[in-house]
Amino acid sequence: MPSWFPRSIFGTVLVIVYVAVAVFLVGRDRKTTSGGWISIKGLVSYLVTFPISALGERLGVRPSYDRNMDMAFAIGGCAVIVYLIGAGLGALAKLMFSSTTPPVT
């Protein structure tokens, strides 16, 4: 890991939870078939991978929710974003709760 990349236990825990939930929801979304006059297949996959899917749509390379590689890329990209957010929140919490001022007597 590069020296400039933040190391965070909180970010790692968040990524593990995110990837487990995302893989479960995408797998469940693929098995679900909607009937009737409306079809919302792929909506859960889109919401789980929103940052990557939205960027892909803006660039014209929307990931296919039925292809494993596309979903692996989208979940992996979102996992990096979740890790960085978790590392930032962990650093902020450490900064807020660490006391560097001497106690008042």
What's the CA dihedral at 10, 14, 19, 22 to 10 degrees? Answer: -170
Does residue 22 sit within a domain?
Answer: yes
From CA 88, how far away is CA 105, in angstroms rounded?
34
- 39 pLDDT tier (thresholds 50, 70, 90): low
- Confidence at residue 12, expressed as pLDDT on a 0 to 100 scale: 93
Residue 13 has pLDDT above 90, yes or no: yes
Does residue 35 sit within a domain?
Answer: no
- 66 pLDDT tier (thresholds 50, 70, 90): confident
Does residue 34 sit within a domain?
Answer: no
Q: What global pTM score does this model have?
A: 0.81
- Confidence at residue 29, expressed as pLDDT on a 0 to 100 scale: 85
Map residue 31 onto helix, strand or coil: helix
Section 74-95 average pLDDT: 92
How many C-alpha atoms does 62 have within 13 Å on its Cβ side?
Answer: 10
Does residue 45 sit within a domain?
Answer: yes
Burial of 28 (0-12, 13-18, 19+ CB in 10 A): exposed
Does residue 101 sit within a domain?
Answer: no
Residue 65 has pLDDT above 70, yes or no: yes
Does residue 102 sit within a domain?
Answer: no
Nearest by Cα to 23 from 58, 49, 60, 52 = 49
Does residue 103 sit within a domain?
Answer: no
Owning domain of residue 64? 9-29+40-92
Residue 60 has pLDDT above 70, yes or no: yes
Number of domains in the chain: 1
Does residue 71 sit within a domain?
Answer: yes
